[in-house]
Amino acid sequence: MSKSLGILLCNLRKEQEINQKELIRGVCSLSTLSRFESGEREPSKILFDALISKLGKNSNKWEIILNENDKLLIKLKNYIEYLIKVEKWEHLEEALNHYKELIKFDKNLNNQYLSLIKAFIYKNTKEYKKAQKECIIGLELTNFKINLENFKIDTLLSENELRLVCLLGEVLVEENVINNLDIYNYWKEIISYVEEKCTDEEYKLNFYIISIYNIAYVLFCNNNYYESVLYVNKGMEYIIKNKSMHYLEKFLLLITYLKKYVDYKLFIISKNMDYECIEVILDTLNKWNLKNFDEKEIYIRPYNNIYSINEVIKNTRNYNNKTQEELILSKDEKLFVGNQSSISNIENGKRTPRKSSSKHFLENLGIGNEDESYRLSVMGDNFELEELVCKIDFYITHNYKKAIKLLSILKNKVDINNIYNKQYIEKCELFIKDEISPLSYEEYKNEIFRILSITIKDIDKLKTEKWKRFFTKEELRLLLNIGGAYHKGNNYEEALIWYKKLEEYFEKFYDLSGIIVYRTLLYNLSQVYGLLGNYKKSIDKSIDCLVFSTIYSEAYFFYRALYNIGWCYGKLMLESDISEKEIYKNKSHKIFNQSKCMANLYNDKTFKNNIDEKIKIWNLN
């Protein structure tokens, strides 16, 4: 991990041969950036997001400890994004007003975000002139001038600038005020920028898919059907490769329009599925649309783990059974800082402790190695390490041989004696070993406890206490896999105990702790409840998993959660009276078919075969 986030930014900037003036345009002063890069100061979350995204990355990979006000801003921003997804436009004005009240610093960047949301609202009400004006206002807040007649991107764009540019492009497509050639060139310019500058695949994903879709749609509207098909195939190939559902419904609908003019066999997806499967998927996406569910904003979270220093201190102190008076004492039991009143204000979010005070409090609570504000899964001083980690995590379950090669590269780039690097490496080695030759659940569980003990000294306490203390992302993954070990050993009652402790951690103590572990937890809970015969609870958790997957456009857990629902209805069919058997049989078959079509689309042949086998065994045809 970088000792300063600014040092990491500096290394990335120099690696890309970008000068400071180019990076700071409309975002901050040259002296401010210099203080960041020297490690003298740390940027706020919104400023860091702007700077890192101009370098083609985003901050999703960091665990971040913020002050309480910044945490509240992020939480409110998540809620605003949720309102847009479920199209609850009537609630947005109140949320935006609340957001304005919380703004204390970086006013241009925060106001730019507000312009983005206002433009979304105007676009929804088809007030295109107002939407276009709001996009331009937002872009000008960071000194980005736009020429619609001769659109060129000749500077670095932050994430919100890129969102504004894309939203403006969608407004122009819907309004159709400039000719098709100009709109086509507008989107071609965006896609050229995304392909060249967005080097982080995770960051690139959504912008790339949006651009490809709009080019395909403009070509379709201009009767260039065969060229439109080429872009549809390009977009669908990217969606399938990344197991994404972003713009999936739009692409499939465009395929249904194009099918009237071209042969279906021209589409890349025709190799794996017939056209009827598209209709099933469209029905599935409509059935499980976010708008069809009650309030689910609990599942809107940052991709990474976000905590406030205030809640970390409060929860960990309670977990360690320490008094506020004990917290402010130094090792020789002399008064270190403040008094009980000041600690109470910190724990209640009314005051932010200084960096030196935070360091003391965290060391006193036994988590002194996490005193920096930003951390990665492994500790180093460049972004390349975390991108390597993401690839390793992906390939462990998809291609362990590649994971082994990448892990070997990582070992040569980090200090393997650092306890967090050591924990990550040993975790990966265990997971790979289990992929190659599955361990017994007892051996697997014991190994996870051993690896956890590298960074957590009070392991036995985890078995009895509520998990209030702060855990890193990797520690959370290991805790999840302890439940997974019991799950693997068919000890579902014990697995449920561990999963529920983790669920309480996410929902009660750290409500912005990230999605990486939480999404898997919801899925595992749905399975365990089903295996324990609590089918209603299993279906409820599966639906939560569907909502979660829809919010983040992730297909992998989406069609697996569908399978769980179909499986529960199948079990109910087998265990019910004759009068209800047919009802559950029809529900099971329909949802299995939805899951099967989705697995077909994403080339998940193993999972599709599992569904076929279950349909055959249960005679659901």
Each residue's pLDDT tens digit, 126-184: 999 999 999 999 999 999 998 888 899 999 999 999 999 999 999 999 987 556 778 99
Whether the CA torsion 557, 562, 568, 570 is positive or negative: it is negative
Contacts (Cβ under 8 Å, ≥6 apart) of 617: none
Cα separation of the two ends of the chain: 54
pLDDT of residue 368: 61
Torsion angle of the four alpha carbons 504, 510, 511, 515, in this order, in degrees rounded to the nearest 10: -90
- The low-confidence residues of the chain, meaning pLDDT below 70, are 1-4, 177-179, 295, 330-338, 368-382
pLDDT of residue 1: 37
The three state secondary structure string of 331-398 is CCCCECCCCHHHHHHHHCCCCCCCHHHHHHHHHHCCCHHHCCCEECCCCCCCHHHHHHHHHHHHHHHH
Q: Say yes or no: 416 and 531 in one domain.
A: yes
Contacts (Cβ under 8 Å, ≥6 apart) of 583: none
Say if 23 falls within a structural domain. Answer: no
Say if 530 falls within a structural domain. Answer: yes
Q: Say yes or no: 94 and 207 in one domain.
A: yes
Contacts (Cβ under 8 Å, ≥6 apart) of 576: 584
Say if 601 falls within a structural domain. Answer: yes
User: 3-state DSSP call for residue 66?
Assistant: strand
Q: Say yes or no: 430 and 573 in one domain.
A: yes
Select from 292, 313, 343 the last residue of a domain.
292
Tens of pLDDT, residues 325-358:
888 776 655 555 567 787 888 888 778 887 777 7
Contacts (Cβ under 8 Å, ≥6 apart) of 289: 550
554: phi then psi, degrees, rounded to nearest 5: -105, 115
| Residue type for position 464 | T
pLDDT of residue 577: 86
pLDDT of residue 371: 42
Q: Say yes or no: 401 and 528 in one domain.
A: yes
Tokens of 83: 């309102």
Q: Say yes or no: 114 and 244 in one domain.
A: yes
Q: Say yes or no: 278 and 387 in one domain.
A: no
Tokens of 295: 């309030």
Say if 358 falls within a structural domain. Answer: no
pLDDT of residue 389: 85
pLDDT of residue 591: 96
Whether the CA torsion 9, 141, 302, 461 is positive or negative: it is positive
Structural domain harbouring 584: 383-617
Q: What is the CATH number of the domain that holds 131?
A: 1.25.40.10
What domain count does the chain have? 2
Select from 261, 292, 323 the last residue of a domain.
292
Q: Alpha carbon of 581 to those of 119, 239, 446, 563: distances in Å?
A: 51, 38, 43, 19
Q: What is the rounded CA–CA span in Å between residue 620 and residue 563?
A: 14
pTM of the complete model beyond 0.85: yes
| Residue type for position 569 | Y
How much is the mean pLDDT over the chain? 88
Tokens of 222: 């201009």
Say if 52 falls within a structural domain. Answer: no
pLDDT of residue 393: 87
Q: Say yes or no: 286 and 397 in one domain.
A: no
509: phi then psi, degrees, rounded to nearest 5: -100, -40
Q: Answer whether 67's CB lies under 8 Å from 352's CB.
A: yes
Say if 184 falls within a structural domain. Answer: yes
pLDDT of residue 608: 92
- Burial class, 208, CB count within 10 angstroms (exposed 0-12 / middle 13-18 / buried 19+): buried
Q: Say yes or no: 90 and 198 in one domain.
A: yes
Say if 209 falls within a structural domain. Answer: yes
Say if 2 falls within a structural domain. Answer: no
Select from 263, 292, 321 the last residue of a domain.
292
